[in-house]
Amino acid sequence: MTFEGIYAIVDRAVHDRPMELLDAVLSGGVRLVQYRAKAGVDRALVRELTARARAVGAKLIVNDDLEAALEADGWHAGQEDLLGHDVSSIRRRLGTRIFGVSCPTAAEALLAQAAGADYAGVGPFAVTSSKDDAGPAIGIEGVRAVVRAVSLPVVAIGGINAANLPSVAASGAAMAAVISAIALQPDPGQAARELVEQWRSLRGDRVAGSP
């Protein structure tokens, strides 16, 4: 699959109606969505979210919980999730599912690439309130350093909104992961649509929402 465009994160801590938010981002043209529930993942809900995403040709990735991710279209892991694991065996277990890894540095991105990851999540791009332990913002140069180091698609994340989306595109990132700039807006579907269209205009004739 091709990774390009807006990558929406449906975070249970930010928006307490995940199905409603998923429907909104899908209606806005987003085609890669991550479900994040740090307090615990409901497997039945994951199956419902995945079915809803697949119905429109989108992919649903689960954050942190590998077992739940096996019932979806992929898994996104933080560095802490990989500790104590044989990453190559995780790649085999996921099969054709998407395997994304948070990689704060180019060195970690290179390790993820060697382990068979499909993309590297890099950030925080800007100051963010959506993740308490996100660390200091790395900005355009921090993302660009990872883009230059690996052949993996890079997904920029953290504090991304319409105002700084041009800088994200200029960094060379393949995708921009968005949480609050969609989930906390009065009309999340419209917010998603505007970001998808903005990315399309920034990146020329590439298809914005569709991975």
- CA dist., res. 90 & res. 88, Å (int): 5
Lowest mean pLDDT among 122-131, 136-145, 170-179: 122-131
In the prediction, which pLDDT does 211 show? 42
Peptide bond into 124 cis (omega under 30): yes
Catalytic residue annotation: 36, 102, 131
In the prediction, which pLDDT does 165 show? 98
Query: Rounded to the nearest 10 degrees, how much is the dihedral formed by the CA atoms of 71, 75, 78, 81?
Result: 50
Domain ranges of the chain: 5-202
- CA dist., res. 100 & res. 120, Å (int): 6
pLDDT digits (tens, 9 = 90+) for 55-110: 999 999 999 999 999 999 999 999 999 987 888 899 999 999 999 999 989 999 99
In the prediction, which pLDDT does 133 show? 60
User: What topology does CATH give the domain 5-202?
Assistant: TIM Barrel (3.20.20)
Lowest mean pLDDT among 64-73, 132-141, 182-191: 132-141
In the prediction, which pLDDT does 204 show? 77
